[in-house]
Structure 1
Amino acid sequence: MYPQRRYLKAHVEKSISEPKTTFSLPEQERLFQYLQDAAGEFGYSLTDAVIEATHLHWIIGHGDAVDDMAGRLKNRMRQGLNRGRIWTAGYSHRLLFDEEALENARRYPTKHPGLRLLCGRRVENA
């Protein structure tokens, strides 16, 4: 198991006692818009996004440190919803260096009903 996944698993197990944040369907759509806006603001290339009631997934091209990129996007989405703390600390990430890795990463989000962006194209099945 990758070190960041061990950290995330330990963090999730520790935070289970905290109240779970859930997003209504309108909030999910707003989160998607805030994510797109923030990606544009910071010059990131958002190609894939899934917004679920309790979490999200994205594939994004960027030139920043992963911590900086994730923090910026999570902060802009939090500011947009104006609900106070909505994210747990940390995240899970994989670096995608070739087309095979990218295609494998894209298969996972397609299984989620919150799919909104796939290969740079808006998906209307959310």
Structure 2
Amino acid sequence: MKWQEARELFPNQFLLVSILDYHYEGDKKIVDEIAPIRPIKDENANEDTIYEAYGIGGSVPFYTKIMDSLKIDRLTVENVEVDVGMLLPKEHPALLGLDVLKQYNFIIDLGKLKLYPSTQ
């Protein structure tokens, strides 16, 4: 569904959507297709603070959520905070902070681009 179609189906409402397809124009990511998930009540629309992360290649908006649990390999982490990107690449739906990786002594193999729980 195109954004204009969603605006016609959900006029004057905040809308939670899933991004199905996008393309780049220079350094800007352009959303081509969305799937409406549900309208959001006005009073709930600003529950999440939107931040902006900067890095090589530009910036990306994101918000933070607490997950009940997150399983990485054989380790389960309870009540962990993750950053959810609004326009992250499809293969990266969320970001796990270095603070969490350090707290649980994860090992990052940059040569293989793999993440391992510590054996300690």
TM-score bucket (shorter structure)? under 0.3
Report the TM-score, using the length of structure 2 for normalisation: 0.24
Report the TM-score, using the length of structure 1 for normalisation: 0.23
**Which one has a larger percent strand, Structure 1 or Structure 2?**
2
Greater Cα radius of gyration, structure 1 or 2: 2
RCO (CA 8 Å, sep 6+): is it higher in 1 or 2? 1
